[in-house]
Amino acid sequence: MGVTKEEVESSLTSKLSPVHLEVVDTSGGCGASFVVEIVSGQFEGKRILERHRMVNAALEKEMQEIHALSIKKALTPEQWKQQQDSENSEATT
């Protein structure tokens, strides 16, 4: 029953080789609902829809048991770096 955070992480890691990955189980433990933040070089040149598709495809097996998957961020390493830089500069100014 349900899917674990580790299963989601390992599927995403093996298929999308992310440089940053954050999976949060928002189901309160029953494994039906996750929020994902992922940064991968494979997203380069892909529109947001295609990126989400890639994540969905990587989790095809798990999706059968996951009720809600929220992909909060699907960024390329470069976008990720920019975003962090801007956050840092906001914090320091």
Partner 1 sequence: MRTLEKELLEAKTVTLMRCNISSITPITNVKPRSLSIVSALKKISEADSISLSPENDGSVTSDCGVYAVYDSNGQVQFIGLSRNIAASVDLHRKKVPELCSSVKVGVVDEPSKESLTQAWKSWMEEHIAATGKVPPGNETGNTTWFRPPPQKKPDLRLTPGRHVQLIVPLEQLIDRLVKENKVVAFIKGSRSAPACGFSQRVVGILESQGVDYESVDVLDEEYNSGLREKLKSYSNWPTFPQVFVNGELVGGCDILTSMYEQGELANLLK
Task: Choose, by CB under 8 A, the member of 39, 54, 69, 76 that binds partner 1.
Answer: 69
CB of 48 vs partner 1, minimal distance in Å: 6
Which span sits near partner 1 by CB under 8 A: 9-17, 22-30, 68-76, 85-93?
68-76
CB 3, min distance to partner 1, A: 14
Nearer Cβ to partner 1 (5/52): 52
Subset of residues 24 to 63 that bind partner 1, contact rule: CB under 8 A: 48-49, 52-53, 56, 63
Size of the site for partner 1 (CB under 8 A): 11
| Rounded Cα distance, 57 and 70, in Å | 14
Instruction: Give the 3-state secondary structure of the chain.
Output: CCCCHHHHHHHHHHHHCCCEEEEEECCCCCCCEEEEEEECHHHCCCCHHHHHHHHHHHCHHHHCCCCEEEEEEEECHHHHHHHHHHHHHHHHC
At residue 24, what are phi and psi to the nearest 5 degrees? -120, 125
Binding residues for partner 1, per CB under 8 A?
Answer: 48-49, 52-53, 56, 63, 68-72
